[in-house]
Amino acid sequence: MVDSIAGHAEHMKIADNLGMSAKVERPLKIVFLGAGSVFFVPLFTDVLSIPGADEGEMVIVDIDETRLALASQAALKIIQKKASKWKVTASADRKKVLAGADYVINCIEANGIDCVKSEYHIPLKYRIDQCIGDTTGPGGLMKALRTVPAFLDILKDIEELCPNAWVLNYTNPMSILCLAASRTSKAKVAGLCHSVQGSSHQLAEYLEIPYQKLKWECGGINHLAWFTQLSSGNVDMYDILKEKVLKDTALWEKDPVRFDMMLHFGYFITESSGHLSEYLPYYRKRPDIIKKYCRSGYRGESGYYANNWPKWRKDSDEKRLQQISEQTEIQLERSWEYASYIIQAMETNNPFVIYATVPNKGLIYNLPADGVVEVACLVNNKGIMPTRFDDLPPQCAAICDSNMRSYELAAIACIEKSKEAAIHALMLDPLTAAVCSPAEIKEMALELFKSEQELMPF
């Protein structure tokens, strides 16, 4: 842990500096778990864009051999386009390929898409209306119960076969996975999400100022991190943003839940309005409130993931086929995803600031010390070092804390294979508790468990 880093918006400038000056001087072995993920093509392209990383081995793993073959062909196409010397190894068995890995990027999806609809429709019977439903609430709990055991098995293999590797986790539910990992594994795990980068850029757009002129500080938990400072020069940009939101209906409509939270709690939050509405007890508990604050798509549409995720996954596979056949161009520019910049910073000792989900251990004093939080982290050849954020404003901390208590029980449920802990996790979930009585929550949980009994750890 290091002291707080001021001016966190500088991290994008540091990324530019890394791209210009720092070069990797050894071949790397990177293992990518979940090669069918939409993250694979951009992240592999990013790795090949690291200055000096002219050769190495990208090992791709997926238990779906059809998707594994597609990813392998896409990887070879990227190597061809980038004129790279990298080697690609594909395997359906991670234990055969993990040995000697320098980095492991985790993008697994447990049990595919078969559970998505039931995890939306069963809670809906109990009046729990979800938009995304994969990181919190009933859908998030069920995904955790299916995913955490697989992730912990992966970490056991990493401890045995490549104990020095950094595990860069992109899989949701982020907080529960990282919490369970911190409780059971010695592997070096960092949870990566792009909500901080994306939201900071959105704020600059909403304020109509260049991103480089926006100074901000951010901390909290994944999808519930708060921009506690927002300024440009000596001007408090919150005063300007709040005034704009109150006067500009079109602006309000872009992010109604986030703006409403900002007006009432004082600060802007990192997750989209629709997904954010699931973390809170306020916006999805009655049809009239949903109508008032929720809109289409990521702004709060009911069943948005349940109704679209199967099609999106099919479309993703089709796009990959088109990229392989060159009907669709592969974007070769480096993205702003953190993974390649982390690798570059570690390999070159040129510092870089990221936002990651890590064990709290006093980073945010007024959140549970044994939980996980999302804070700025300094990356160099010593690894990923979280920075101290100190206190969140008390009202913001209370919102985070209410979710962390549910995550605590969800992690226990996954680790100890406890139905009771899973039910208690739902009883403490803010949205679920706002809608249902404890008896109704237990009844719903048992119905969810029965619907996926072959996939549950208990």
Q: Which residues are catalytic?
A: 194, 279
- Length in residues, the chain: 458
d(C-alpha 106, C-alpha 410), whole Å? 20
For tokens 């404003």, what's the residue?
Answer: 393
Helix (H) or strand (E) holding 250: helix 249-254
From CA 152, how far away is CA 316, in angstroms rounded? Answer: 27
Question: Rounded to 5, what percent of the chain is helix, strand, coil?
Answer: 50, 15, 35
Phi and psi at residue 89, to the nearest 5°? -120, 130
Burial class (CB in 10 A: 0-12, 13-18, 19+), 35: buried
Nearest CA among 326, 283, 259, 296 for reference residue 137: 283
> Which position has the token pair 């090949």?
48
**Gap between the Cα atoms of 92 and 52, Å rounded:** 30
The partner residues of 385 in beta bridges, in order of sequence, read 378
Cβ atoms of 133 and 119 closer than 8 Å: yes
Side chain identity at 244, as an amino acid letter?
K
Pairwise CA distance, residues 100 & 85, whole Å = 19
Closest by CA to 72, choosing from 83, 52, 86, is: 86
Cβ atoms of 300 and 283 closer than 8 Å: yes
Question: What does each C-alpha distance from 110 to 69, 150, 192 come to in angstroms?
Answer: 19, 7, 18
> Which burial class, exposed, middle or buried, applies to 314 when counting CB atoms under 10 A from its CB (0-12, 13-18, 19+)?
exposed
254's tokens: 């872009």
